[in-house]
Each structure stands twice: as C-alpha cells, then as structure tokens.
Amino acid sequence: MDKVLGVLEVDLESELDSSPQFIVNHFQIEINKVLKLGRNTEECIYSVEHPSVSNIHCVLWGIRFDPESVPLCYIKDMSLNGTMVNEQVLSRDVPYLLSNQDVIQLPNGAKFKFSAVKSETMSQFMTGLRIKSEWDRWKIVPRIVGSGTFGHVLVAEKVDHNMKRQVAKKTVSYAVKVINTAKTRMVKEATILEKLNHPNIIRIHQSCVDALGNVYIFQDLISGGDLFSYLAKGDCLVPISETESLIIIYQILLALKFLHSNGIVHRDLKLDNILLHTPEPCTKVVLADFGIAKELSQNTKERMHTVVGTPEYCAPEVGFKADRNIYRSFSRTATLDPDNNGYDSKCDIWSLGVITHIMLTGISPFYGDGSEASIIKNVRTGKLNFTARQWIAITDSAKSFVKKCLQVSTFNRCDVEEALHQVWVEKHTSQLERIYKKKVLQLSSDCIKIDENIDTFAVVKHKLPKSVKLSPEKNPNKRLKLFSNNI
C-alpha cells in the first residue's frame, strides 16, 4: 500500500518569510504521519517566521484504512490568528477534510497547495446510490470516508439557516453512515448510541430512514483512522510503547465503565472499532460500531446467549458450539443451546485483553495459523506465552494486566472496575487523569510530556509529545521524542 497520500506544495510567489534552512518547496503527506506548519523550526516541516504565525499554526495528516479504501488527508488549525482553506477560515481545533487542489493560507499570506495522489470522481455518485443530498438540517457531501457491506460513510454538514456569519467560515464536517437497507442491526445501533453521551464513545446526532428504506446515521467525523490501520505497517502490526498503549487502554476502560454501568455490552470490541482523533501518540480515542451491542435490563443479572463478534477477539464463553461456518461472516449470529449459562459484560474485558496484547507486542495472542479451528482451539485454552522475545522489554505489571483480562474462567477474569485497579493502571491514575483532562476533555492548559528517566509521567507546561511514525526515519529538521517503555 502506497504510503504517500498527498503532496503539499509551497507557493513561492506568496509572502513566505520562511527560515533559510527550509529550501524544499513540496512535502509528502504520508499515512499516520503528522506534518506541522508554523514558526517552530524544530517541529515544523516548513518554518514561517512571522509574528502573526503561531509556533504550531496548523497540522496535516493522511489516513487510509486499507489498500481498497479512499485516501483521506486532513488539516487542523491550532493557531491564534486562523488558517484559511480556499479563502475560508477553519474552525480552530476541528479537523477539515482536504480536497484536491485546495489552497491553504496562513495569516501572513503564505500559501500552500494540496494535491491528492488519488483524486476521486464523485459527480454522479449520489444519483447512482440513490442517496438524498439533503435531509432535514443536514447536507450530504459526495465524499466517501468509508465503505463496507452495510453501505457507505460520507461527509455531512449541518445546515443552520438562522446563522449570520461575519466572516466566511468553513462548516464543521460530520459523518453520515448510509445503510442501503433498513437492517435491524443498524437501527439498533442508532437507538443505543443516541442515548449515550461519553467522550470516548462515538456520538450520534440524528438517525432517520428514507422512503427507499435507506438508514441515515449522522455522527461525529473521527479523522485519525482506526487503531488497526495505525498499527499496520505492510502486512504486519507494529507494537507501540507501554506508555502510549496505557493511555489508549485507560480511555477504553472509561468508555466500558460507562457502558457497563448503563447496562450496555459492546460485544465486538476490536482494533477496527477503536477510532483515533489524530494518528499520533496521546490522541483521543472513541469506540464505534455498536451494531451487535446488547442493552440489558437494568438492575437484573440478565445474561446473553448469542454467538456474535469476531473470533480473534471473542471470549470463550460467548460460545463455539454453533456451526463453524458462522465465523466466516463477521457479526452473523446464532443462538447457543438453552443449557448454556450464557455470558455477561466480561466478554468485553477479554476483547480488551486481546487488544492490549496486540498493542504491546504486535501479536494477536490466539491467532495461531489464522484458521478458524486454530483460533477457537487457542481461545478455549487461553494459553499465553510471555517468554516470547516481544515481551522482553514489557513490565510485569503490563503482563499481569493482560493475563487478568484473558482468564478463560469468568470468575477469575476482572471486570471493568477491577481492571481500573490493576497495578499497571492504578499506579498511574493521577497522571492518566491529567492527560485525559488535557487531551480528551481539553480542560487544562498544562500539556503532557513523558519523562524517559523515571518510572512515571511528568506534567509540564511545554509542548505535547512529538508525533512519531510507526517506523520513524531520520530527519535532520525534526527531533523525535519517543515515549519510554519504562513505566
């Protein structure tokens, strides 16, 4: 899969006021690599020396879920004086999806032209899919950001007919999931999510069904890709540091605590269903795809008896008694025999354990040779190999966390509250809370930096940790600040 998704070209005729050390006039936007524009000569790919330009003025990045998906490039303004795209001001801290030949302009007049490596032709797209271009207060833009067997995910904009703007400002983009038929699963997903409000759970703004039976689910546009594509490099998944893994796991645990306390079990937790706001360390993550989630009766000990989910992440008690062919299609369901004791919300904790294992080592713990029979056999035994070389640099507390999540016996497996009190998480709770307030809730002016010399987190009034690629290359103009595994 090609790493380059777009090119940013410097307009040499604009008022650059650039640092003399930057002589390249075009830059490649690669998968999971964040580029920065601003005054900072160490962090920015192109330094613009002008008082109206912020230290880090704006950032750009590209994502691509897989070789068949559409490449997507985003820009986010982070400045005091604003960034313009095609002479319209971007909303601060809100990602904007770039289109081919867009012109980016900084306050001093410096201009950059964006060129997409692969430009999509969408002229008759809406007509061919028989999708409405407007619905209620929404306008659907013919830009695909995702596709699947269910249908497509497009960009949508909220229309406010009463708003009078003093300046031409770019509309905030949302996502709309359009399902080709009114499948019960999708209607169920919208019904569950519309009742939820948590920073780490995808937010649904509205859902509706048209005369043709198409379901429209309007939700937040999450622009950093999913956790699977973030870890992917070629045909392999590349591990990330314990620090970065822990920050992601902490957010997922808070989301699961909220879900489970409200009687909701996700049941399909996996890398693909964890979305990132930006493809860089310390980013906010959200849980998505609640199509097979289960809403249990409150204040009861109701258990579930349906085989669902993805085998690689699926807890053993969810059931393997059904026909093996069930697993050839994700999310297809079958009912277990009535004598089975069923399962509860701890099935999500098992999935979390698998995710943690993959993030720390790049290895799926029960994948075996990749066949259904191999996965099912390994999941049933629950045997973990902590002697593998991938675990050598991992702390005992992290191993203990994974082991506690991946107990075959649900009696021995931790629930979400117990997971939050595992040593790996609990000894860093105060520091994790500070990071959470800054990066997720955005309540603090303090930024976060990881101290590489001590076994803890340090909060300092300084820049956030540098974005790193999955396999960083040496760059004389860019100093990488890698997280320490020493936690």
Catalytic amino acids?
A: 268
Candidates 453, 363, 357, 354; CA nearest to 398 is 357
* Cβ atoms < 10 Å from Cβ of 299: 7
Q: Cα separation of 78 and 37, whole Å?
A: 10
- 3-state SS, one letter per residue, for 384-419: CCCCCHHHCCCCHHHHHHHHHHCCCCCCCCCCHHHH
Calculate ∠ Cα 215-258-486, nearest 5°: 115
Give the whole-angstrom CA distance, residue 479 versus residue 363: 29
- DSSP labels, 160-194: -TT---SS-BPPPEEEEEEESS--HHHHHHHHHHT
3: closest CA among 40, 41, 32, 30? Answer: 30
Tokens of 212: 């043709």
Question: Three-class SS of residue 433?
Answer: helix
> Is 177 labelled as part of a ligand binding site?
yes
| Residues 82 and 53 sit within 8 Å (Cβ to Cβ) | no
- Give 395's contacts (C-beta < 8 A, 6+ positions apart): 242, 424, 485, 487
Q: Where are the beta strands (DSSP E) in 149-254?
A: 151-158, 173-179, 204-209, 215-220, 232-233, 236-237
Residue 271 to residue 278: CA distance in whole angstroms: 15
The CA distance from 462 to 284, in Å, is 19
Rounded Cα gap, residues 72 and 170, in angstroms: 18
The rounded distance, in Å, linking the Cα atoms of 303 and 317 is: 11
Beta partners for residue 37, in sequence order: 46, 58
**Distance between CA atoms of 35 and 27, rounded to whole angstroms?**
9
How far apart (Å, rounded) are the C-alpha atoms in residues 40 and 49?
Answer: 9
Contacts (Cβ under 8 Å, ≥6 apart) of 145: 70, 72, 97, 153, 154, 155, 175, 221
Residue 316 · residue 351 · CB < 8 Å: no
What amino acid occupies position 377? Answer: K
How far apart CA 202 and CA 213 sit, in angstroms, is 24
Residue positions forming the annotated binding site for ATP: 177
